[in-house]
Amino acid sequence: MNQSPSHPLNAHLISIARCDRWCAYYRLQELEIPCLCPEDGSLRVEVNSPIAILQLRSVIQQLTASRQQLINWLEYCWQSS
């Protein structure tokens, strides 16, 4: 678990099920987005750019959206191209 002594101003607390937070944590680490999982069960994410915000949204959406919501999103993306 990554712990930082200070909490940057651009860190956000994400509400996500405990069973999904580690999946989100590891994916965000792969994307080089600073984050940590404190012992309280939360997920803290530091967003430093608009791209990081979009990537965070995508990671959380993949873990929390229903199958039908993901299908609808994919169809929307295909139609937008």
Work out the end-to-end distance of the chain between its first and last CA atoms, rounded to an integer number of angstroms: 40
Asked if residue 52 belongs to a domain, the reply is yes
Please state the domain count of the chain.
1
In the chain, the largest separation of any two C-alpha atoms, in whole Å, equals: 46
Q: Does the pLDDT of residue 81 top 90, yes or no?
A: no
Question: Is 58 inside a domain boundary?
Answer: yes
5 within some domain: no
Residue 6 has pLDDT above 60, yes or no: no
Q: What residues make up the domain containing 28? A: 11-80
Whether residue 55 is predicted with pLDDT greater than 90 in this model: the reply is yes
- In this prediction, residues 9-19 reach a mean pLDDT of 78
Residue 57, in any domain of the structure: yes
**What pLDDT shows up at residue 2?**
46
Q: Model pTM?
A: 0.75
Whether residue 2 lies inside any domain: the answer is no
The whole-angstrom separation of Cα 81 and Cα 77 is 7
Q: How confident is the model at residue 8 (pLDDT cuts 50, 70, 90)?
A: low
Mean pLDDT of 40-64: 91
Residue 60 counted as domain residue: yes
Q: Are 54 and 19 in contact (CB under 8 A)?
A: no
6 domain-assigned? no
Query: Is 1 part of any domain?
Result: no
